[in-house]
Every structure is written in C-alpha cells, then in structure tokens.
Amino acid sequence: MAVKGPKVCLYKCRIGEEGFRALASALRSNPSHMRELQLSENKAGDSGVKHLSSLLEDPNCKLEKLHLDGCSIGEEGFRALASALRSNPSHMRELQLSHNKAGDSGVKHLSSLLEDPNCTLEKLHLDNCSIEEEGFRALASALRSNPSHMRELQLSYNKAGDSGVKHLSSLLQDPNCTLEKLRLDSCSIGDEGFRALASALRSNPSHMRELQLSWNGAGDSGVKHLSSLLENPNCKLEKLDLMYCSITDEGFRALASALRSNPSALRELLLYGNQPGPSAQQLFSELKTHPNCKHLQIYGL
C-alpha cells in the first residue's frame, strides 16, 4: 500500500512525553493533510501515546500509517490508541506496534478496534509484544468478525504455542479471510500448531503469499502437515520460511515430494539451520532442475 501525502519521520530521536504532547498539539491544529507518522524507538510511554491519541480521535485526522515500534507502550497506551481509533477508524491502514509491552490485556483493547466494521486496517505488526494464548484468541475472534481487510499480520516472538495458533487457524479457514502475509517466527509452535495451520490453509489456500515460521518446533511431523498444503493445486504461497525448525531427512523428503507433485507458485524456500543428511541434499539438488520447480530459489542447502 502506497501512502500518498505528507509524512513525518522521527525515528529514534529520544522523544519523550513532552515531545509527543507538542507534536500532537501541532498536528491537531492542522490534522487533515498528514498521512504517515513514523515515531518508532522513542520514549513515548503510555502518557506520550495518550497525547497522540487525542489527535487520532479528531474526525479531521486522515492519518493512514502509524509506526510506534519500541516506544515502551503498555496496556494503558494500547487502550488509549484503540479507543481513539474506534472513534475515527476508517482511515488507518497500517499500524506498527512491535516491541512494546501490550500483553494479552493490551491486545484485547486493540481487538475491540479490529472488530469494528468501519475499521479497514490492512497491516498490523505486533512482534515481541508479550502476547500469549488469550491475546491470540482475542485477535482471531475480532478478525473473524471483520476479516476482509487485513492483508499482513506480524506476530513473531510471542508466546502463542499450539493453542494460540489454533485460535488463529480458525480465522485463516474463514472464506472471507484474505490475509496474504503471516509472520509467526519463534512462537513456540509444535506439531499440533503446524497441523492446525496447514489444515486451515488447505481449506482457504488461494490468498496466502508469505508464511514465516522459523525458530519453531515443527520437526518432521509438523513439516509433513505443511507439505500437504504445498501439494494443493490451489495453494498460491510464494515464500515459505522454515529456518531452524528441527527438520531432518524425513521432513525434507516430504517437502521435496510435495514440491515435485505440484507446479508450485513457491518462489522462495528458506531452510537454514535444519539437519538434512546426504539423501536430503541429493533430493533437493535434483529438485532444482524439476520442471515444477524451475522458478524456486532454495536457501540453506
């Protein structure tokens, strides 16, 4: 999504509460032109974000893209942001809030925005926000009630576990869900989580383009579930990241078989940090010349 119009970039400028107060006050006096505000890696805290929220709830505010990664925002800041955007939800398209202290409570406040039928958010980044199963449940429930706008969801380095991923899978199988990019690196996902993801995407395979699942406990059995998705002729996945997922020869054989059987849309497969033996190395060497895989770039072998 290209944002057209003025933007302000104040990344990593040591701005604290008073700076956020001044910025919000200035923009409230002339709110209708600003489209993009990049304020990541500053010292906003909840108080600073509350000042910014007073801008966001102004009906004349047309901001489309807001970056607040790494701004020490906790539950109260998430509550203020969600409340402000619920009162003026139709313009915001991208919200980046990674590396904050949301926790499940903060994410539940944000979920109340996502389920608003007037919310048209397309990209949401919540990497490393201390989200556990209850937060994943709240996000999935909210997006199921309003699923058609979200295109990119980043949730890496949270504590989803298999249970959290099962909640998310209930969203992915919804035929109205048109999510294209999903990032779940290092989310403590095991065999059951991979099974749930693969099953959900097999039932609604045509939208997902990028799936990042590195640093999880897939193992060979988890990768076998995912291979059943790749052999689906309706699967349009273009990038798959499975780095450091404890995959050995058995899992590599399943992946190779799936990719040989289907003229895949896959263009990029990342496999660094796994344990392929000589037989897997040979299989993937042959795979590179297979007619169904002529556009596929394989990294890590």
| Average pLDDT of the residues in 207-229 | 96
- Whether 227 contacts 197, CB under 8 Å: no
Work out whether strand 239-241 and strand 65-67 pair parallel, antiparallel, or are unpaired. Answer: unpaired
Give the residue, 260 or 94, on which the prediction is more confident: 94
Predicted confidence (pLDDT) per residue in 163-175, tens digit: 999 999 999 999 9
Give the helix, strand, coil percentages of the chain, each rounded to 5: 40, 10, 50
Q: Provide the mean pLDDT of the chain.
A: 93
**pLDDT at residue 102 greater than cutoff 90:** yes
Q: Count H helices and E strands in the chain, helices first.
A: 10, 11
**pLDDT at residue 284 greater than cutoff 50:** yes
Give the residue, 283 or 66, on which the prediction is more confident: 66
Q: Which of 4-18, 35-49, 139-153 has the lowest mean pLDDT?
A: 4-18
Which tokens belong to 228?
């059943």
What is the pLDDT, as a whole number, of residue 50? 96
What pTM did the predictor assign? 0.94
Which tokens belong to 275?
């344990």
pLDDT confidence band for 83 (50 / 70 / 90): very high
Segments making up each domain of the chain, as ranges: 35-299
Q: Is the dihedral of CA 250, 251, 252, 256 positive or negative?
A: positive
The superfamily in CATH containing domain 35-299 is Ribonuclease Inhibitor (3.80.10.10)
**pLDDT at residue 4 greater than cutoff 70:** no
What is the pLDDT, as a whole number, of residue 3? 42
Measured CA to CA, the distance from residue 46 to residue 83 in angstroms comes to 13
Predicted confidence (pLDDT) per residue in 176-206, tens digit: 999 999 999 999 999 999 999 999 999 998 8
The 10 Å Cβ neighbour count of residue 167 is: 20
Which tokens belong to 153?
């969801």
For 272, phi then psi, to 5°, come to -60, 150
**pLDDT at residue 263 greater than cutoff 80:** no
Helix (H) or strand (E) holding 182: strand 181-183
Contacts of 161 (CB under 8 A, 6+ apart): 132, 133, 187, 188, 189, 190, 193
What is the pLDDT, as a whole number, of residue 5? 59
- Whether 59 contacts 30, CB under 8 Å: no
